[in-house]
C-alpha cells in the first residue's frame, strides 16, 4: 500500500536526522568548530574522515551531524511558532467572523503576496544574524497556509451540531475553539506543519548560504555549502554531504507529511446504501 511506504520511508529518513542531531556529540569524531587542523585540509573521504575534510581541515562528517541540530531546531521551533500564530488567527477569524475575519484574511493575503524568503531576509537584515533571529524571522513569515486552513476548518466545523450544543451548554467562545474545534482540525494542521518544517529547513539553508543565517564557524548546512562554493570542482565532497543532508531531511519531511495526510485526512466513513 502506497501510503504506508510514504510514511515508513519518510519516518525513517526523518528519524535518521533526528538521531543524528540528538546524539551528535556521541557520534561525531571531532569537535565541529574547534576541530580545525590545516594539516588535514581538503582531504577526500577515507576511513578516518568518512565525509572528507573542508578547507580548514575540519571533519565534514562531524559538522554534518552537528548541522542536524541546527536544522532541526530551526525547522521545529520556527514551524511551531508559525503553527501557533496561524491556528490562533485562523481559528478565531473563522469562528468569530465579522471585522476580525476581514482583518485576518487581509493580513493573510498580504503575507501570501510577499515572498516569505524575501520577508525573512528583510527581518534578518534588521536583526543580528544568529539562531534566535533566524527562529523569529522564519517563525513570523510562514503562517499564512496554516491560518487559511484553520479558518476554513473553523468555518465548516462551527455549524456542526456539537459546536452549537457546546454554546447551549454555556461554553465560552475560547473554550469552544479549544475543546470542540481545535481537536477536529488537528490532522490537516499537523500535515501542513510537517511539510512546513521541510520548507523551514530549506529556508534556513538558503539564509545561511547568503550569510544572513547561522554565521561560520557554526556548522549549519547552509553556511557549510556557502563555504564550499569555491572548492566545488576541486573538492566536491565539501558541498555534497551537507547538500545530501538537506535533501534527505526535506525529502523525509515531505514524505512524512504526505503519509500523515493519507492517514489523518480521509474521513473513511463508508456510506450505507
Closest CB to another protein among 81 and 91? 91
Q: Is residue 254 within a helix (H) or strand (E), and if so which, with residue range?
A: helix 237-264
Complex with another protein: residue 93 or 123, whichever CB lies closer: 93
Sign, Cα dihedral of 15, 148, 122, 134: negative
In angstroms, the CA 245 to CA 60 distance is: 11
Interface residues with another protein (CB under 8 A)? 160-162, 164-165, 167-172, 175, 179-180, 183-184, 269, 272-273
Burial of 241 (0-12, 13-18, 19+ CB in 10 A): buried
User: Distances in Å between the alpha carbon of 157 and those of 89, 95, 123, 177, 218?
Assistant: 16, 9, 36, 10, 46
Bond into 217 cis (ω within 30): yes
Q: To the nearest whole angstrom, how small is the minimum distance from the Cβ of residue 160 to another protein?
A: 5
Least separation in angstroms between residue 166's CB and another protein is: 8
* Nearer residue to another protein within complex by CB, 88 or 182: 182
Least distance (Å) between residue 88 CB and another protein? 20
Minimum Å distance from CB 30 to another protein?
49
Measured from the CB atom, is 47 or 272 closer to another protein?
A: 272
26 contacts 69 by C-beta, under 8 angstroms: no
> What is residue 178's DSSP assignment?
I
Beta carbon nearer to another protein, 39 or 269: 269
Alpha carbon distance 122, 169 (integer Å): 48
Q: Are 256 and 11 in contact (CB under 8 A)?
A: yes
Please identify, using beta-carbon distances, which residue of 91 and 135 lies nearer to another protein. 91
Name the minimum Å distance from CB 139 to another protein: 28
Q: How far is the CB of 1 from another protein (least distance, A)?
A: 12
C-beta closer to another protein: residue 180 or 220:
180
φ, ψ of residue 53 in degrees (nearest 5): -130, 165
Name the minimum Å distance from CB 159 to another protein.
9
Three-state SS for 64? helix
Amino acid at each position: 500500500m502506497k501510503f504506508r511506504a510514504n510514511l515508513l520511508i519518510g519516518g525513517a529518513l526523518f528519524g535518521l536526522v533526528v538521531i543524528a542531531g540528538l546524539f551528535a556529540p556521541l557520534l561525531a569524531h571531532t569537535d565541529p568548530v574547534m576541530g580545525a587542523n590545516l594539516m588535514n585540509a581538503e582531504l577526500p573521504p577515507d576511513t578516518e574522515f568518512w565525509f572528507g575534510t573542508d578547507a580548514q581541515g575540519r571533519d565534514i562528517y562531524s559538522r554534518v551531524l552537528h548541522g542536524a541540530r541546527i536544522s532541526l531546531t530551526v525547522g521545529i521551533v520556527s514551524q511551531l511558532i508559525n503553527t501557533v500564530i496561524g491556528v490562533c488567527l485562523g481559528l478565531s477569524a473563522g469562528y468569530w467572523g465579522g471585522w476580525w475575519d476581514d482583518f485576518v484574511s487581509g493580513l493573510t493575503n498580504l503575507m501570501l503576496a510577499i515572498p516569505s524568503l524575501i520577508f525573512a531576509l528583510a527581518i534578518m537584515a534588521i536583526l543580528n544574524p544568529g539562531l534566535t533571529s533566524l527562529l523569529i524571522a522564519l517563525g513570523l513569515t510562514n503562517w499564512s497556509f496554516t491560518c487559511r486552513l484553520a479558518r476554513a476548518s473553523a468555518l465548516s466545523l462551527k455549524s456542526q451540531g456539537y459546536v452549537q450544543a457546546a454554546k447551549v451548554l454555556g461554553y465560552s467562545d475560547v473554550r469552544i475553539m479549544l475543546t470542540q474545534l481545535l481537536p477536529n482540525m488537528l490532522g490537516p494542521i499537523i500535515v501542513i506543519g510537517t511539510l512546513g518544517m521541510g520548507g523551514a529547513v530549506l529556508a534556513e539553508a538558503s539564509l545561511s548560504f547568503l550569510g544572513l543565517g547561522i554565521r561560520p564557524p557554526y556548522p549549519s548546512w547552509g553556511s557549510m555549502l556557502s563555504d564550499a562554493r569555491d572548492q566545488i570542482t576541486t573538492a566536491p565532497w565539501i558541498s555534497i554531504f551537507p547538500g545530501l543532508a538537506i535533501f534527505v531531511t526535506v525529502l523525509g519531511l515531505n514524505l512524512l507529511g504526505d503519509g500523515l495526510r493519507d492517514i489523518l485526512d480521509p474521513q473513511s466513513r463508508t456510506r450505507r446504501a
